[in-house]
Amino acid sequence: MFQTEFLDLPALASAGGSVTLPGSKSISNRVLLLAALSAGSTRIHDLLDSDDTRVMLQALRQLGCGVHEQGSVLVIDGLGGQLKTDTAQFFMGNAGTAMRPLTAALAVLGGDFSLSGVPRMHERPIGDLVDALRELGCSIDYLGNEGYPPLHIGRAQLRLDQAIPVRGDVSSQFLTALLMALPLAATQDIVIEVVGELISKPYIDITLNLLQRFGIAVRREGWARFTIPAGSRYQSPGDIHVEADASSASYFIALGALATPSEPGAKVRIQGVGLDSIQGDIRFVEAAQAMGAQITGGPNWLEIARGHWPLKAIDLDCNHIPDAAMTLAVMALYADGPCTLRNIASWRVKETDRIAAMVAECAKLGAQVEEGPDWLRVHPLPAGAWRSASIHTYDDHRVAMCFSLAAFNPDQVTVRIEDPKCVAKTFPDYFETLFGLVQAQPGRVPVICIDGPTASGKGTVAAEVAKRLGYHFLDSGAMYRVTALAATRAGLAIEPSQEAAIAALARALPVRFEDGKVLLGADDVTEAIRTEEAGMNASRVSALPSVRLALVDLQHGFQALPGLVADGRDMGTVIFPNAPYKVYMTASAACRAERRYKQLISKGISANISELRADLEARDARDQSRAVAPLKPAADAQWLDNSELSIDQSVQQVLAGWLQRQAIGSHSAT
């Protein structure tokens, strides 16, 4: 997961390949609670591991549920409808799919419980559910604002003889919560009556489907009246599989519709969710098809390719796909006319006011957007009108994920996604998964080059800059160091007479960089290549032209999405001459010798500062005077003498220079 302050998406072009998506959040949290309330143990396969499911799991542990991992399977030992504790305080984060059903179940069982969440959770209405539960005889008090969490739950005196009314036009989660809680009290038939037009009906279908799997056969009359039969009891189904998340699939369906194929005939294939999904958001497929996407599918898979281009404008009632419909708003930027998304009032009370968020962020990209209380109209953005923008994500995973699709814009402007880790709510590895399927416009994966002499601090600074930007890191010096080590181990003298043999070795160098370690074959050489002798040998080996040539492809291979920071001697001059930002980092020889001295002493290696200075000056001289790719600043490099700067100040300067070049929106950077 990207933990950076922001993630810059360079202009993207094409896509192709297969992706297996994480489990559905809606199914995962329902299954967890049902398994906890059931008699017996439930083995849950393919459960989503995300912020919202962790919130639910933590609550279940607090209630005394057994939770065990068995490989990729999670086993829940159910409570059989009997709580092991009747006093607890629960923190529900911003997980609506945990907050609402748990409130109902605890209220029906009764006890001394409080439930709270993040500030946004305390702005998300729950009054209609509380009203219904009070009607039933549950004891619930508001601990903050009337109608909103946090809540206190006390002992219940249930009255089951009359139909329980619940509003269905704000959130279908209230009805879901009652449907899941009432089997715990079904000593007689219990009737729920929906007041108002029920929204998001497909989510009720998921609830009914899963209740059936756990032994509860709810009788439904239209969408207005539901009966829990007397004697209903939760019983574990044993094993249960969670489908991949259909809402998450929407980003990859849109990807297939927007991107050109990575090679002729290539498609985007989604595994884990298919046309027979029980999730309502699978009907996003129909919306995407209406916009021109070519989609085929089977029971557990979908394949998408670009069809009509530009996409066709739509005017759609999105009540049945409230979450996935956000993706349509970004697809609309690529349509042949304005797209209107209707009946989406529920967006206003989600993780953020999603209608307001879409209006504000599409406008930053340059789009004209109109809104009403329950609708949104997005006008397409023609080529020439796109603006590079910093997308605020409002701690809303879906805002972050759907705006990643703006990176396919024809003007090839960079799209910045602020706080990318907000995707952890449902899809922690979303951006990594996306980067596994897409290709940037040719030459558009950014490379920041930091070249300079020995011990100028370029490696330290480059690694930190890469970390802050979420970019890959190339320590090119390590490749010469490993080559020299491999040559020495092979008994080759590091001199011109052995150039061909060393180059052959370098071409097939089994080097890997993993978790901060450098591996030569199976051998961890991280420390072995850091000695002064190894540095000097690397300098000698790097003067051999065929060895340099042999290592070019290996270095180019590091240029991958979302970007690269590369440090060395010829990054900006030879390996990445078209890099958009180059720094030549240096410091006085005295200063560099002192840094190297401290570095060695801190590792317990004895050193002499004047010898170190003489060595590094000799190494600089060799690196600067060799015939091929000598150390020198690129013509377009920014010079940074950091003799008087701390590491952090150096990092800040490099970041500031890069962000100035990026010139995205008005975001402050470091």
Ligand X SMILES: Nc1ccn([C@H]2C[C@H](O)[C@@H](COP(=O)(O)O)O2)c(=O)n1
Binding site residues, ligand X, CB under 6 A:
454, 476-478, 480-481, 535, 538-539, 542, 568-571, 619, 623
In the list 460, 488, 526, 531, the residue contacting ligand ATP (rule: CB under 6 A) is 460
Phi, psi of 148 (to 5 degrees): -135, 155
Determine if residue 459 is labeled as part of a ligand binding site.
yes
* Residue 647, binding choice from ligand ATP, ligand X, none, Cβ under 5 to 8 Å by partner class: ligand ATP
User: Considering the rule CB under 6 A, would residue 439 count as an interface residue with ligand ATP?
Assistant: no
DSSP state of 575: I
| 563/568 with CB nearer ligand X | 568
Q: Which residues pair with 255 in a beta bridge?
A: none
Residue with tokens 């006085």: 588
In the list 459, 470, 562, 563, the residue contacting ligand ATP (rule: CB under 6 A) is 459
| 132/449 with CB nearer ligand X | 449
Determine if residue 598 is labeled as part of a ligand binding site.
no
Strand 219-221 vs strand 225-228: parallel, antiparallel, or unpaired?
A: antiparallel
Phi, psi of 113 (to 5 degrees): -125, 145
User: Considering the rule CB under 6 A, would residue 613 count as an interface residue with ligand ATP?
Assistant: no
Q: Which of 323, 567, 570, 623 is catalytic?
A: 323
Instruction: Count residues binding ligand ATP (CB under 6 A).
Output: 17
Phi, psi of 180 (to 5 degrees): -80, -25
Closest distance of CB 516 from ligand X, Å = 15
Closest distance of CB 480 from ligand X, Å = 4
Contact (Cβ atoms closer than 8 angstroms) between residue 28 and residue 73: no
In the list 493, 560, 601, 647, the residue contacting ligand ATP (rule: CB under 6 A) is 647
* Residue 569, binding choice from ligand ATP, ligand X, none, Cβ under 5 to 8 Å by partner class: ligand X
| 235/531 with CB nearer ligand X | 531
| 291/520 with CB nearer ligand ATP | 520
Strand 151-153 vs strand 140-142: parallel, antiparallel, or unpaired?
A: antiparallel
Peptide bond into 562 cis (omega under 30): yes
User: From CA 339, how far away is CA 329, in angstroms rounded?
Assistant: 8
| 476/559 with CB nearer ligand ATP | 476
The pair of three-digit structure tokens given for residue 85, joined into one six-digit string: 């504790």
| 42/456 with CB nearer ligand ATP | 456
The pair of three-digit structure tokens given for residue 148, joined into one six-digit string: 């909103």
User: Considering the rule CB under 6 A, would residue 457 count as an interface residue with ligand ATP?
Assistant: yes
Q: Of residues 526-545, which lie at the interface with ligand ATP (CB under 6 A)?
A: 535
Closest distance of CB 488 from ligand X, Å = 14
Q: Residue 606: exposed, middle, or buried by beta-carbon count in 10 A (0-12, 13-18, 19+)?
A: exposed
The pair of three-digit structure tokens given for residue 659, joined into one six-digit string: 């962000």
Q: Of residues 464-503, which lie at the interface with ligand ATP (CB under 6 A)?
A: 477
Determine if residue 453 is labeled as part of a ligand binding site.
yes
Q: Of residues 179-238, which lie at the interface with ligand ATP (CB under 6 A)?
A: none
* Residue 570, binding choice from ligand X, ligand ATP, none, Cβ under 5 to 8 Å by partner class: ligand X
User: From CA 452, how far away is CA 474, in angstroms rounded?
Assistant: 14
The amino acid present at 504, given as its one-letter code, is A
Q: Residue 219: exposed, middle, or buried by beta-carbon count in 10 A (0-12, 13-18, 19+)?
A: exposed
Q: Which residues pair with 113 in a beta bridge?
A: 88, 153
**Measured at the alpha carbon of residue 359, what is the angle toward residues 293 and 333, in degrees to the nearest 5?**
30
The amino acid present at 180, given as its one-letter code, is M
| 96/457 with CB nearer ligand ATP | 457
Closest distance of CB 596 from ligand ATP, Å = 6
**Measured at the alpha carbon of residue 327, what is the angle toward residues 330 and 277, in degrees to the nearest 5?**
160
Determine if residue 452 is labeled as part of a ligand binding site.
yes
- Largest Cα–Cα distance in the chain? 97
| 41/599 with CB nearer ligand ATP | 599
Determine if residue 26 is labeled as part of a ligand binding site.
yes
* Residue 274, binding choice from ligand ATP, ligand X, none, Cβ under 5 to 8 Å by partner class: none
Closest distance of CB 518 from ligand X, Å = 11
CB atoms within 10 A of CB 496: 13
Stretch that binds ligand ATP, among 115-123, 342-350, 571-579, 638-646 (CB under 6 A): 638-646
Determine if residue 269 is labeled as part of a ligand binding site.
no
Determine if residue 50 is labeled as part of a ligand binding site.
no
Closest distance of CB 479 from ligand X, Å = 7
User: Considering the rule CB under 6 A, would residue 458 count as an interface residue with ligand ATP?
Assistant: yes
Determine if residue 650 is labeled as part of a ligand binding site.
no
Determine if residue 271 is labeled as part of a ligand binding site.
no
Determine if residue 201 is labeled as part of a ligand binding site.
no
Closest distance of CB 621 from ligand ATP, Å = 14
* Residue 271, binding choice from ligand ATP, ligand X, none, Cβ under 5 to 8 Å by partner class: none
Contact (Cβ atoms closer than 8 angstroms) between residue 80 and residue 107: no
| 4/542 with CB nearer ligand X | 542
CB contact set of 85 (below 8 Å; sequence gap of 6+): 62, 63, 64, 111
The pair of three-digit structure tokens given for residue 523, joined into one six-digit string: 């051998």
Residue of 626, 572, 356, 620 lying closest to 451 (CA atoms): 572
Closest distance of CB 646 from ligand X, Å = 20
* Residue 460, binding choice from ligand X, ligand ATP, none, Cβ under 5 to 8 Å by partner class: ligand ATP
User: From CA 577, how far away is CA 600, in angstroms rounded?
Assistant: 33
Question: First vs last Cα of the chain: how many Å apart?
Answer: 20
Determine if residue 172 is labeled as part of a ligand binding site.
yes
Q: Is 323 a catalytic residue?
A: yes
In the list 650, 652, 653, 662, the residue contacting ligand ATP (rule: CB under 6 A) is 650
Closest distance of CB 505 from ligand ATP, Å = 21
| 350/592 with CB nearer ligand X | 592
Count, in order, helices (H) and strands (E) of the chain.
21, 34
Determine if residue 354 is labeled as part of a ligand binding site.
yes
Closest distance of CB 578 from ligand X, Å = 16
User: From CA 26, how far away is CA 52, in angstroms rounded?
Assistant: 10
**Measured at the alpha carbon of residue 40, what is the angle toward residues 34 and 41, in degrees to the nearest 5?**
80
Determine if residue 248 is labeled as part of a ligand binding site.
no
The pair of three-digit structure tokens given for residue 400, joined into one six-digit string: 């972050």
Q: Of residues 561-600, which lie at the interface with ligand ATP (CB under 6 A)?
A: 595, 599
Residue of 338, 552, 576, 340 lying closest to 449 (CA atoms): 576
Give CA torsion, residues 226, 229, 232, 234, to 10 deg.
-20
CB atoms within 10 A of CB 540: 20
Using CB positions, name the residue nearest to ligand X: 477
Q: Give the H or E element holding residue 168.
A: none
Binding-site annotation, residues for ATP? 452-460
Binding-site annotation, residues for phosphoenolpyruvate? 25, 96, 124, 173, 354, 398, 425
Catalytically active residues are 323
Binding-site annotation, residues for 3-phosphoshikimate? 25-26, 30, 171-173, 200, 323, 350
- The residues binding ligand ATP (CB under 6 A) are 452, 454-460, 477, 535, 595, 599, 642, 645-647, 650
